[in-house]
Chains A and B, each alone.
Chain A
Amino acid sequence: GDSVTQMEGPVTLSEEAFLTINCTYTATGYPSLFWYVQYPGEGLQLLLKATKADDKGSNKGFEATYRKETTSFHLEKGSVQVSDSAVYFCALSTARAGGTSYGKLTFGQGTILTVHP
Chain B
Amino acid sequence: KAGVTQTPRYLIKTRGQQVTLSCSPISGHRSVSWYQQTPGQGLQFLFEYFSETQRNKGNFPGRFSGRQFSNSRSEMNVSTLELGDSALYLCASRSTGGTQYFGPGTRLLVL
Selected from B32, B33, B55, B103, the residue in CB contact (under 8 A) with A105 is B33
Q: Are B98 and A101 in contact (CB under 8 A)?
A: no
Q: Are B104 and A104 in contact (CB under 8 A)?
A: no
Interface size class of A (residues with CB under 8 A): 20 to 34
Q: Are A104 and B90 in contact (CB under 8 A)?
A: no
- B100, CB-defined interface residue at 8 Å: yes
Residues of A contacting B43 in the complex (Cβ-Cβ under 8 angstroms): 89, 105, 107, 110
B50 to chain A, nearest CB (A): 7
B76 to chain A, nearest CB (A): 13
Tell whether A109 pairs with B42 under 8 Å between CB atoms, given A103-B50, A104-B48. yes
Q: Are A105 and B98 in contact (CB under 8 A)?
A: no
Tell whether A101 pairs with B104 under 8 Å between CB atoms, given A46-B99, A49-B99. no
Residue total for B at the interface (Cβ-Cβ under 8 A) = 27
- A43, CB-defined interface residue at 8 Å: yes
Tell whether A103 pairs with B102 under 8 Å between CB atoms, given A89-B43, A109-B42, A110-B42. no
- A45, CB-defined interface residue at 8 Å: yes
| A residues neighboring B (CB under 8 Å) | 32, 34, 36, 42-46, 49, 51, 89, 93, 95, 100-110
Can you offer 13 A-B residue contacts whose CB atoms are under 8 A? A43-B6, A44-B102, A45-B102, A51-B98, A102-B31, A102-B50, A103-B32, A103-B48, A104-B48, A104-B56, A104-B58, A105-B33, A105-B100
